[in-house]
């Protein structure tokens, strides 16, 4: 990794949401002090948590991550750094020149990056998100310069069409084509909107891009605004992302001061004013017409289409909405060319996709992979597989609109069309892995609880239908399921899908349908045998140790928080049901699945 | 808003003394004549006072020339507006997918065990509010909670309990 040799002492501390939560601020302060004590000239930069190979980032499970740059030497990354470790690292490594091997990242850390292709996230972490100068020093705002100097709006649209870029918000609509609709709509005033209302549980790609490289998104929006002919724009960001909001505000101010936003951008007559709108907490606002209603100050309820926003959107004017990641792809398409971009990925899904990998997988975090990689590669090569030697059961792709795929479909390639065919969807990119201690009926119940709560109530099938489905799922998980419930769920699901106005209702039944499709036996076990194979529905779990499966290791005895388990070395554990509070700690921790 | 919530609001307002509403006017003045002002105004008024009382909402209505009914319609639609005072420490338990899979349901139960409050409720001493949120976006360290602006990850019921007790024992 010779390219990272530099002339100065530098310490890069992960300061993303996860980095800060793991103690990044304290670690940084400790470094500042230790360098001062050692009398070393140090430049300590705050860095973000999603990054390129050397700076790691993206591997939030190992936070706090720290890179140490010593003049003339290769950068070294340390994992799980705490403030207490800092004086030793500075003394032995920085002063003494000896890497502290026991804390330095091992091979498995680098494996996480080996299978990735980081293009959109290339500069995330390389640049200081709060410094426009640093962004410019890394080639920032070069794409918009090229666009304004050398290209007509039509040429930009043509280039984006040729690149094959499809919307990263989930639907996968071709971006260039979407722009054409808005560009061809009559009217002087058109709006460009960036959808940063990342509401899917299990997704944090957009947050990471905005926190790590906000100017990249602004530059992407400038390119789109020029191509479509928009003078006004909004970034609609979730209120639940306080750090992202702070960084966007700063970036907007800096870009305006430097003449990248406002009137006469870069000395041309191109004009673009960009504003930040904070969301107020409603999942449905990720739907573009609901988002528009919310910017207008209304209840965020979807509107029927047509007319599409491209014709009649924000305040009745032609509007174009794209997702954060879509915008972040644009500068590199312009700079490297559509042909280069189209060479990555599959025939119909071009480029890379960023995923948020979480759940029962060893390396949780933010990853970027080329389209076409299989689900198996994603979980086992990049993510390192399932922890605690558990067996893989299912993977949930695409959030509440997506679906659960079983082991037999692990070789499905990740592209828009293959995932839809399998019953899941790309969605915004959340990937949640589940092992054998998870119950698929419970998971379906979980997702439907979410969509039912977030239904705006406009369409009756979605409002009442999801509630009825939820009631059925609830009784199944409680062991009160009836013969015919599965068929009832399927029929309700179909009705809701075809008769809802917006994407929320049209896709809300997907988690139920895919779990029925691939894990019907689990539903049947709940209904017919009153048994929960994942042992997650506590009302169906007996909390008894299976003598033949118990290896007498005593782990359950140690983890029980209420001392309900008795055990002696060499003896089968016993659970006292009068004390047991059914917290499932024993089930989750037993390596032999001996508790049922 | 449910009848219960309105009743709670009325009850709590009786014990709270007269609140100076001049900040409402100042915030509204910044947005006079601007389109799409309703949500930013509600957000800023709430940021100033911590919640939105009936008086504040009526005052906003007068300023922006919007009926209070319409304002209630908007603010009850969104999860992040509150019509009752909130605790000094707001505990946000993430109920996102990753956290759910890793047992966040138990963390909410621990809050209930410690402070006797359920989702959306505030302890009677106005110290703690429990809020289950859909996703904090820190799935890499699930299960996760936030107490005010501080994030805590990789929780177990027991270390979560220790964190809660630490806050409960904090001197005012």
Nearest by CB to residue B158, choosing from A18, A365, A561, is A561
User: Which residues lie below 8 Å from residue A373, measured CB to CB, with a gap of 6+?
Assistant: A115, A413, A414
What integer is the mean pLDDT of A35-64? 60
For position B172, what pLDDT does the model report? 61
Nearest by CB to residue B80, choosing from A60, A280, A450, is A280
Domain B3-77: CATH class, spelled out: mainly alpha
For position A278, what pLDDT does the model report? 93
pLDDT in tens, chain B (172 residues): 455 555 555 555 555 557 899 999 999 999 988 889 999 999 999 999 989 999 999 999 999 999 999 999 999 999 889 998 999 999 999 988 778 888 888 999 999 999 999 998 999 999 999 999 877 777 778 899 999 878 898 899 999 999 999 999 986 6
Three-state SS annotation for A529-547: CCCCCCCCCHHHCCCCECC
- For chain A, domains (ranges, CATH) are 3-111 (3.40.30.10), 139-342 (3.40.50.11540), 352-435 (3.10.20.600), 440-528 (1.20.1440.230), 542-596 (3.30.70.20)
Kindly report which listed range (A69-73, A216-220, A288-292, A553-557) carries the lowest average pLDDT score.
Answer: A69-73
The full length of chain B comes to 172
d(CA A59, CA A29): 22
Place of tokens 């999801």: A466
Which chain B residues contact residue A456 at CB under 8 A? 77
Q: Select the highest-mean-pLDDT range: A462-471, A576-585, B135-144.
A: A462-471
d(CA A547, CA A476): 28
Residue A157 above 90 pLDDT?
A: yes
- The tokens for A373 are 């990689």
Average pLDDT, chain A: 90
Three-state SS annotation for A34-86: HHHHHCCCCEEEEECCECCCCCCECCHHHCCCEEEECCCCCCEEECCCCHHHH
Q: CATH 3.40.30.10 residue ranges in chain B?
A: 89-168
Q: Is B130 on the interface with A (CB under 8 A)?
A: no
For position A23, what pLDDT does the model report? 79
pLDDT band at A25; cut points 50, 70, 90 = confident
d(CA B149, CA A250): 19
Which chain B residues contact residue A438 at CB under 8 A? 101
Which chain B residues contact residue A291 at CB under 8 A? none
For position A57, what pLDDT does the model report? 66
Contact B97 A297 (CB under 8 A): no
Residue A120 above 70 pLDDT?
A: yes
Residue A41 above 80 pLDDT?
A: no
Which chain B residues contact residue A278 at CB under 8 A? 39-40, 43
What integer is the mean pLDDT of A137-145? 95
**What region does A271 belong to: left with phi over 0, alpha with psi -120 to 50, or beta?**
beta
Nearest by CB to residue B79, choosing from A281, A399, A583, is A281
pLDDT band at A42; cut points 50, 70, 90 = low
What integer is the mean pLDDT of A590-595? 93
Residue A55 above 60 pLDDT?
A: no
Q: CATH 1.10.10 residue ranges in chain B?
A: 3-77
Strand-pair partners of A370: A352
d(CA A289, CA A176): 20
Nearest by CB to residue A299, choosing from B73, B80, B140, is B73
Kindly report which listed range (A14-18, A192-196, A423-427, B71-75) carries the lowest average pLDDT score.
Answer: A14-18
For position A50, what pLDDT does the model report? 31
Cis peptide before B143 (omega within 30 of 0): yes
Nearest by CB to residue A201, choosing from B96, B151, B153, is B96
Torsion of CA A326, A366, A359, A351, to 10 degrees: 40
Residue A395 above 90 pLDDT?
A: yes
For the stretch A200-251, pLDDT in tens is 877 888 988 998 899 999 999 999 999 999 999 999 998 878 888 998 999 9
Q: Which residue of A has its CA nearest to B147?
A: A21
Kindly report which listed range (A28-32, A143-147, A318-322, B164-168) carries the lowest average pLDDT score.
Answer: A28-32
Q: Which CATH number fits domain B89-168: 1.10.357.10, 2.120.10.30, 3.40.50.620, 3.40.30.10?
A: 3.40.30.10
d(CA A595, CA A577): 13
DSSP A274-335: EEEEE--S-GGGGSHHHHHHHHTTS------SSSPTTTS-GGGS-EEEEEHHHHHHHHHHHH
Which chain A residues contact residue B38 at CB under 8 A? 297-298
- The alpha helices in chain B, defined as continuous H runs, are 3-15, 22-30, 38-49, 54-64, 68-75, 97-101, 104-115, 157-168
For position A441, what pLDDT does the model report? 96
Complex-level ipTM: 0.80
Residue A280 above 70 pLDDT?
A: yes
Which chain B residues contact residue A396 at CB under 8 A? 97
Contact A201 B135 (CB under 8 A): yes
Nearest by CB to residue B74, choosing from A203, A299, A561, is A299
Cis peptide before B56 (omega within 30 of 0): no
- The tokens for B46 are 């709430």
User: Which residues lie below 8 Å from residue A65, measured CB to CB, with a gap of 6+?
Assistant: A13, A14, A19, A49, A55, A56, A57, A59, A77, A78, A79, A81, A105
Q: Is B138 on the interface with A (CB under 8 A)?
A: yes
- The tokens for A52 are 């390129």
Closest approach of A292 to chain B, Cα-based (Å): 10
Q: Which residue of B has its CA nearest to A240?
A: B136
Q: Which residue of A has its CA nearest to B153?
A: A21
What integer is the mean pLDDT of A131-136? 89
Under 8 Å between Cβ of A157 and A176: yes
What integer is the mean pLDDT of A536-543? 93
Q: Which residue of A has its CA nearest to B161?
A: A561
Q: Which residue of B has its CA nearest to A17?
A: B138
Q: How many CB pairs under 8 A join A and B?
A: 149
What b/e sequence results for B139-157 when a residue is b if at least 16 CB atoms lie within 10 Å of its CB, and e otherwise?
bbbbbbbbbeeebbbebbb
Closest approach of B31 to chain A, Cα-based (Å): 12
Contact A21 B152 (CB under 8 A): yes
For position A7, what pLDDT does the model report? 56
What share of chain A has pLDDT > 90, as a percent?
A: 66
């Amino acid at each position: 990794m010779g390219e990272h040799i530099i002339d100065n002492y530098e310490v890069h501390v992960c300061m993303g949401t996860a980095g800060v939560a793991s103690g990044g601020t304290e670690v940084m302060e400790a470094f500042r002090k230790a360098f001062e004590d050692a009398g070393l000239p140090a430049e300590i930069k705050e860095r973000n948590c999603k990054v390129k190979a050397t700076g790691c980032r993206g591997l939030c499970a190992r936070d706090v991550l720290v890179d140490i740059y010593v003049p003339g030497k290769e950068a070294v990354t340390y994992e799980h750094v705490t403030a207490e470790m800092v004086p030793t690292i500075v003394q032995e490594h920085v002063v003494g020149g000896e890497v502290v091997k026991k804390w330095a990242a091992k091979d498995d850390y680098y494996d996480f990056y080996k299978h990735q292709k980081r293009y959109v996230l290339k500069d995330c972490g390389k640049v200081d998100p709060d410094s426009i100068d640093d962004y410019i020093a890394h080639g920032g705002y070069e794409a918009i310069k090229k666009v304004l100097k050398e290209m007509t709006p039509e040429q930009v649209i043509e280039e984006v069409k040729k690149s094959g870029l499809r919307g990263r918000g989930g639907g996968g609509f071709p971006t260039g084509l979407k722009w054409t609709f808005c560009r061809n709509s009559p009217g002087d005033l058109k709006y460009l909107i960036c959808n940063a209302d990342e509401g899917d549980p299990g997704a944090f790609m957009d947050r990471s891009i905005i926190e790590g490289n906000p100017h990249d998104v602004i530059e992407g929006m400038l390119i789109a605004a020029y191509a479509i002919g928009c003078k006004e724009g909004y970034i609609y960001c979730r209120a639940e992302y306080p750090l992202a909001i702070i960084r966007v505000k700063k970036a907007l101010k800096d870009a305006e001061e430097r003449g990248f936003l406002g009137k006469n951008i870069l000395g041309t007559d191109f004009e673009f004013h960009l504003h930040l709108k904070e969301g107020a907490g409603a999942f449905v606002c990720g739907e573009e017409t609901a988002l528009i209603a919310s910017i207008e100050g209304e209840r965020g309820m979807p509107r029927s289409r047509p007319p599409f926003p491209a014709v009649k959107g924000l305040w009745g004017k032609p509007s174009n909405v794209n997702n954060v990641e879509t915008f972040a792809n644009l500068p590199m398409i312009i700079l490297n060319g559509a042909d280069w971009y189209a060479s990555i990925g599959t025939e119909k899904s071009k480029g890379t996709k960023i995923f948020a990998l979480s759940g029962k997988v060893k390396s949780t975090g933010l990853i970027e992979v080329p389209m076409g990689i299989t689900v198996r590669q994603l979980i086992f090569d990049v993510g390192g597989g399932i922890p605690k030697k558990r067996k893989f059961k299912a993977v949930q792709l695409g959030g509440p609109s997506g679906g659960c795929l079983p082991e037999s479909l692990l070789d499905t390639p990740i592209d828009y069309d293959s995932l839809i065919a399998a019953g899941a969807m790309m969605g915004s990119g959340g990937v949640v892995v589940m092992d054998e201690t998870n119950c698929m009926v419970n998971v379906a119940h979980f997702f439907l609880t979410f969509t039912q709560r977030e239904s705006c109530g406009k369409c009756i099938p979605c409002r009442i239908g999801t509630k009825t489905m939820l009631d059925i799922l609830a009784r199944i998980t409680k062991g009160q399921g009836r013969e015919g419930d599965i068929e009832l769920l399927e029929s309700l699901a179909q009705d809701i899908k075809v008769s809802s106005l917006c994407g929320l209702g049209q896709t809300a039944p997907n988690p139920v349908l895919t779990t029925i499709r691939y894990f019907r036996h689990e539903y049947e076990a709940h209904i017919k045998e009153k048994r929960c194979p994942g042992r997650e529905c506590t009302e169906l779990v007996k909390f008894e140790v299976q003598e033949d499966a118990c290896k007498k290791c005593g782990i359950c005895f140690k983890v029980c928080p209420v001392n309900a388990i008795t055990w002696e070395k060499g003896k089968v554990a016993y659970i006292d049901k009068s004390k047991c509070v059914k917290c499932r700690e024993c089930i989750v921790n037993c390596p032999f699945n001996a508790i049922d | 808003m449910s009848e219960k919530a309105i009743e709670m609001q009325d009850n709590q307002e009786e014990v709270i003394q007269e609140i100076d509403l001049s900040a409402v006017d100042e915030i509204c003045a910044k947005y006079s004549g601007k389109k799409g002002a309703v949500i930013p105004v509600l957000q800023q008024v709430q940021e100033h006072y911590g919640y939105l009382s009936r008086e504040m909402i009526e005052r906003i209505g007068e300023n922006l020339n919007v009926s209070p009914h319409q304002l209630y319609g908007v603010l009850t639609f969104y999860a992040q507006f509150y019509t009752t005072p909130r605790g000094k420490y707001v505990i946000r338990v993430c109920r996102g997918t990753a956290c759910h899979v890793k047992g966040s349901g138990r963390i909410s139960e621990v809050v209930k065990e410690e402070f006797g409050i359920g989702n959306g409720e505030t302890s009677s001493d106005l110290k703690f509010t429990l809020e289950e949120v859909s996703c904090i976006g820190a799935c890499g360290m699930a299960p996760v909670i936030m107490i005010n602006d501080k994030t805590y990850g990789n929780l177990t019921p027991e270390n979560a309990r220790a964190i809660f007790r630490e806050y409960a024992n904090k001197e005012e």
